[in-house]
Amino acid sequence: MERLQKILAQAGIASRRKCEELILSGQVEVNGEPVTTLGVKADPAVDVITVKGRPIKSESKLYLMLNKPKGVITSANDPQGRKIVSDYLPGIKERVYPVGRLDYDTEGLLLLTNDGEFANLLTHPSHHVPKTYWATVKGVPHGSSLEKLQKGVLLEDGITAPAELEYHDVDTAKNQATITITIYEGRNRQVRRMFDAISHPVILLRRIKFGDLTMHGLARGKYRHLTPKEVEQLRASALKTHKIQK
């Protein structure tokens, strides 16, 4: 017997948190009975579990890395008709969803999976998996401004965790700088808001690393499957940082 949200996540329905929302909103049934509270357990080998009236089924687990272009959203669909990440996954019939998000104007390394437990492990706030970005910003931030980001800067949703920063390039003619920044959280548009907070708005933002994983050799708009070793390394990274934070 397993908790219902865990069964749904393992079946590739969505992340565990999204599965909890599906349960609370009454969209999940077990043996014909709606379940609207968390903590209910079931046996997927015996019980008939449906989501929105459709029985769940186990899928083979997929772990993908996409070099997301700018101007693409990470939603499953878009009423405005913009490009979505699934447009860049030819040959993938399984329903996969992003591990975290990159906003419309941000490009770079995006993980996708149908393994809800894996997605939850990498995105849970207590695990602090590092994510590294290449940020080109307006102006050239001086030392005291960067120290604010390194120590934690106050945003509307609280103070950020300390970040790691390093100058990559300074273009005095264009009055802009490119800085590598590593964060250990996953707040909405966090890197952009951090640089806004020190009055150096982002011009171009690209994620170049997730844990120890890089996009080496992967062209923009292309994807590849992660190797079993890479999947295990990401799991280990999440578990390691979680242990350190305790």
Verify that 80 and 191 share a domain, yes or no: no
Is residue 206 situated within a structural domain?
yes
The CATH number assigned to the domain holding 41 equals 3.10.290.10
Q: What is the mean pLDDT of the chain?
A: 90
Share of the chain above pLDDT 90, in %: 65
Verify that 138 and 206 share a domain, yes or no: yes
pTM for this predicted structure: 0.77
Band of pLDDT at residue 241, cut at 50, 70 and 90: low
Decide: helix, strand or coil at residue 98.
Answer: strand
Residue 246 pLDDT: 44
For residue 149, CA distances in Å to 27, 51, 190, 200 come to 42, 43, 11, 12
Verify that 136 and 206 share a domain, yes or no: yes
The CATH number assigned to the domain holding 108 equals 3.30.70.580
Is residue 246 situated within a structural domain?
no
Is residue 78 situated within a structural domain?
yes
Residue 238 pLDDT: 87
Is residue 149 situated within a structural domain?
yes
Is residue 146 situated within a structural domain?
yes
pLDDT at 244 over 60: no
Verify that 110 and 154 share a domain, yes or no: no
Residue with tokens 């849970």: 124
Count the domains in the chain. Answer: 3
**How many angstroms separate the most distant Cα atoms in the chain?**
68
pLDDT in tens, 40-52: 999 887 889 999 9
Contacts by residues 177-181 (CB-CB < 8 Å, ≥ 24 positions apart): 177/136, 177/137, 177/139, 177/140, 177/141, 178/134, 178/135, 178/136, 178/137, 179/134, 179/135, 179/136, 179/137, 179/141, 179/146, 180/132, 180/133, 180/134, 180/135, 180/208, 181/132, 181/133, 181/135, 181/149
Residue 178 pLDDT: 96
pLDDT at 1 over 90: no
Residue finishing a domain among 12, 38, 55: 55
Verify that 20 and 34 share a domain, yes or no: yes
Verify that 107 and 94 share a domain, yes or no: yes
Verify that 200 and 229 share a domain, yes or no: no
Task: Considering the candidates 47, 78, 103, 169, report the single residue annotated as catalytic.
Answer: 103
pLDDT in tens, 192-236: 999 999 999 999 999 999 999 999 999 999 999 999 999 999 998
Is residue 166 situated within a structural domain?
yes
Task: Tell me which residue range forms the domain holding 119.
Answer: 63-125+215-241
Total Cβ atoms within 10 A of residue 103: 16
pLDDT in tens, 80-118: 889 999 999 999 988 888 998 899 999 999 999 988 889
212 is catalytic: no
Verify that 137 and 193 share a domain, yes or no: yes
Question: Which two structure tokens, joined as six digits, stand for 101?
Answer: 């998000």
pLDDT in tens, 154-191: 999 999 999 999 988 899 899 999 999 999 988 889 99
Verify that 76 and 24 share a domain, yes or no: no
Verify that 202 and 222 share a domain, yes or no: no
Residue 243 pLDDT: 47
The enclosing H or E element of 229 equals helix 228-245
